[in-house]
Amino acid sequence: MAIDMKGKNLVSINDLSREEVTQILETAEIIKLRHYSHEEQSILKGKVLGMIFQKPSLRTRVSFETGMIQLGGQAIYLSPDDIKLGQREATKDISRVLSRYVNGIMARTFSHGIMLELAKYSSVPVINGLSNLLHPCQVLGDLLTVKEKKDRLSNLKLAYIGDGNNVAHSLIFGAVKVGMDIVLAIPPGYEPKEEIVNLAKEDAKKINSRIEFIQDPKEAVDGADIIYTDVWTSMGFEKESELRKDVFKSYQINQDLVNRAKDDVIILHCLPAHRGEEITDEVIDGPHSVVIDQAENRLHAQKGVLALLL
């Protein structure tokens, strides 16, 4: 039986049940199939999504806006200068007022606290398009990509190499929801937040999923079905860029590292990529790379979210 998710927020994958994650991915698969069959889909006709941005964006803005249009709805882009969250007006007032105008709110913020406050005071669904703590919609697109390429999600090994950032946090949550093992190779001092890991471990126990942390990238990718990386310096940490280049230099995804994984390994990167830093041209443009399919699947996974929540 389908789960009724209307009106639910998507702030964190950890807030979703395993069944809800599965339903989002299955809905996305159906919507994507219909899209490529050139079927008109108007399930969000008359619906409006308000999109709040504190950070610049390519994929998040275009994928959400396109997704609403393709499902028959509309989206309104609200730039940092339009809103000025917490500066010109209290966040809770913005949330309450927008709730009277639109059918859903998508936000891309720096502080995760702002995301939580938007969700607390909104009477319509709030979707986390990215915060400094989490990036759930990215990981739903990632899981959709893995499902397409591997025909399953459980009993796979995902090796994440790099910074313990918002993408890593949501990957940990996402992996254990679907029964995937995740091994993270991260330099000391850059590990994911302990509270995130502890929450994920509670889920992992229920389905015998494994979360492991090691420092050696070569060991991490041995037998891996999936290798995932992200930029070493996330938005907001630009002052640390030169330091991080030095700390992370042995964590680059290059062909030698890829050769240690399974023959049919797939390479994921959430983009934008700093080519020549966390990943080489040879790998990101190579036969194992699925990063463009992955970027496309942000669109379809988010359409699944929008269809179910709005």
pTM over 0.75: yes
Cβ neighbors of 33 (< 8 A, separation 6 or more) are none
Q: What percent of the chain has pLDDT over 70?
A: 99
Annotated catalytic residue: which of 270, 288, 294, 300?
270
pLDDT at 85: 76
Class of domain 138-292: alpha beta
pLDDT at 80: 87
298 annotated active-site: yes
274 annotated active-site: no
Q: What type of residue sits at position 171? A: L
Annotated catalytic residue: which of 23, 138, 252, 294?
138
210 annotated active-site: no
Report the alpha-carbon angle 107-113-114, nearest 5.
Answer: 40
270 annotated active-site: yes
230 annotated active-site: yes
CATH of span 13-135+296-309: 3.40.50.1370
pLDDT at 221: 98
Of 275, 295, 33, which Cα lies nearest the Cα of 142?
Answer: 295
- Is the per-residue pLDDT at 108 higher than 70? yes
Mean pLDDT over each residue of the chain, to the nearest integer: 96
Tell me if 13-135+296-309 shares its fold with 138-292.
Answer: yes
List, in sequence order, every beta strand (DSSP E) within the chain. Answer: 48-53, 74-78, 104-108, 126-130, 157-161, 181-185, 211-214, 226-229, 266-269
- How is residue 184 written in tokens? 């993270």
- Is the per-residue pLDDT at 1 higher than 70? no
For 189-243, how does the pLDDT look when each residue is reduced to its tens digit (9 = 90+)? 999 999 999 999 999 999 889 999 999 999 999 999 999 999 998 877 788 899 9
Residues 225, 155: contact at Cβ < 8 Å? no
Annotated catalytic residue: which of 181, 225, 230, 300?
230
- How is residue 262 written in tokens? 């399974």
Query: CA-CA distance, 255 to 209, in Å (whole number)?
Result: 28
Map out the domains of the chain as residue ranges: 13-135+296-309, 138-292
DSSP per-residue letters across 270-284: -S---BTTTB-HHHH
